[in-house]
Structure 1
Amino acid sequence: MARVMLIEDDPSVREGLRLSLSRHGHQVDAVGTGEEGLRRLRGAPADIVVLDLMLPGLDGFEVCRRIRADGPTPIVMLTARGDDLDVVSGLEAGADDYVVKPVRPRVLEARIRAVLRRGSPSAASGAGPEVHGDLTIDRGALTVCKAGVQITLPPLELRLLLELSAAAGQVFSRQQLLESVWDLDFLGDSRLVDACVQRLRTKIEDVPSKPRYVQTVRGFGYRFGPL
């Protein structure tokens, strides 16, 4: 299945999740600190990281930021409570999804599979580059350039941009984006969408607080411009 890096400081929780994920066929490397997790990731990259936020020493938020700075490895964070501040901060740090403790192993495994499914955007065969202002999107090559300079986007942000730009001017609700980009066909958490939009804006907008491309339509959702 997948190579999973599990970073969890509670020994009993760590061992329980390691055993459960292993039974589902995953290869699990389980560690108790963020420092050790980062060290092992540098030596043996994982397909996905399951990361507890409340870690001793280097906390999960900083670990998440460092993993995301190194590349697009998907991250599912574990939070002790569904606290808005914890969840939003974790998503803004670069996490792709979250699960609230106490963790049900079946739920975690399902979220891992969902994140991995959406981790590789599909190329559109025969599609040529599209120019939107100073942004060029090549769906066939799965590349994005701004003012002629290629931008590296993690898979989830790329999927979001591809979805929005495929119908420029159309307004997408957060629930529509959860279904099409996140593969969540139930009432999902709109904070996943909002955090991903914010991260995407920092990379493609000249002024993220005044977006030209990923525009907010208050009370409805988002649309792609410029119109």
Structure 2
Amino acid sequence: MQYSAVIVDDDEKLTKLLQTYFEKEGFITGVAHEGFEAMKLIREKKPDIIILDLMLPGIDGWEICRRVRRETDIPILMLTARDEETDRLIGLEMGADDYVTKPFSPREVVARAKVILRRSKKSAAVKAEAIKIGNLSINYERHEIRKDGELVDVTPTEFKIVELLTTNPGRVYSRLHIVEFIQDYAFDGYERTIDAHIKNLRRKLEDNPKEPQYIITVYGVGYKFAGGDRDA
């Protein structure tokens, strides 16, 4: 299967380098160097993945992330020159699936993009049935979650976390276990970002995110999905 990627960064040398590495791996690529151009390209091309720098002229990467998430669940891999955890968590809370901090190896960017696409594809194919837990319906084949019958907009990473937690409701999964499941292999420091994804999911799935009834924190251990009323 041939994938497509839109690469967004105002550094023309960097985008050309990334484009070369992605195309060597068989990707069809498009490039944008500022925010408005990026949104136009994303809407036209509808790529399989977006490689997105945060610091852009026009509209910045955070705003692009917001707009993309309002329209689609295309995976987003953030590029950031800032090594501050707060910036990364903000991006993840806005719906990005992963991040790479500059300077980076182009091979690492391609590898992470392929992991995101692989796990997204696996999520859709792993199960053919749908399940119902409480007022949530989860269809693994369609990659869909519905709350009270209404479709919930989740990112591929968020869906992958739900897939893991709902496979065995009540089982506690550590952050490292979740990282290894959603990434296929763990990246240093990524465990801390699991909390951001969990916060996003609670906001989307829970009636009261501050008093969750589904995604429960087991302090000192990790997370579990409560609710044993599971119907195929």
Aligned to 2:207: 206
Q: Report if the CA contact (8 A) 2:7-2:30 is conserved.
A: yes
Give the structure-1-normalised TM-score.
0.91
Separation of aligned partners in 2, 1:91 and 1:145: 22
How many angstroms apart in 1 are the aligned matches of 2:153 and 2:89? 23
1:103 & 1:161 partners in 2: Cα distance?
Answer: 30
Q: Where has structure 1 moved over 3 Å in runs of 4 or more?
A: 138-143, 185-188
Amino acid at match of 2:99: Y
Q: Return the letter of the residue paired with 2:75.
A: P
Question: What is the rounded CA distance, in whole Å, between the counterparts of 1:145 and 1:16 in structure 2?
Answer: 40
Q: Are residues 142 and 38 of structure 1, via their aligned partners in 2, closer, same or farther at CA, if it must alter by over 3 Å? A: closer
Which region of structure 1 is more displaced relative to structure 2, 60-69 or 14-23? 14-23
Tell me, yes or no, if the aligned pair for 2:95 and 2:155 is still in contact at 8 Å: no
Asked if structure 1 preserves the Cα contact closer than 8 Å seen for 2:97 and 2:155, the reply is no
Q: Aligned pair in 2 of structure 1 residues 33, 205: CA closer, same or farther (>3 Å)? A: same
Which is further off, 185-194 or 98-107? Answer: 185-194
AA matched with 2:156: P
Matched residue SS, 1:199: helix
How many residues are paired up? 225
Query: Relative to structure 2, which stretch is displaced further, 143-152 or 64-73?
Result: 143-152
Structure 1: where are the runs of 5+ without partners?
A: none
**Bigger Cα displacement from structure 2, 190-199 vs 83-92:** 190-199
Q: How many percent identity over aligned positions? A: 36
Shift of 1:55: 0.9
Deviates more, 1:98-107 or 1:16-25: 16-25
Q: Which moved more, 1:77-86 or 1:135-144?
A: 135-144
Q: What TM-score comes out, normalization by structure 2 length? A: 0.89
Change over 3 Å in CA distance of 1:91–1:140 after alignment to 2: closer
SS at match of 1:37: helix
Separation (CA, whole Å) in 2 of partners of 1:190 and 1:202:
20
CA distance in 2 between partners of 1:148 and 1:67 (Å): 23
Rounded to whole Å, the distance in 2 between the matches of 1:54 and 1:179 is: 29
Mapped partners of 2:144, 2:91: distance in 1:
27
Contact conserved, 1:123 with 1:141, CA < 8 A, in 2? no
Cross-structure match for 2:116: 115
2:225 aligns with 224
1:83 match: 84
CA RMSD in angstroms, aligned pairs only: 1.8
Alpha-carbon distance in 2 for matches of 1:138, 1:104: 36
Equivalent position amino acid for 2:217 in 1: T
Q: Secondary structure at the match of 1:130?
A: strand
Structure 2: runs of 5+ lacking an equivalent = none
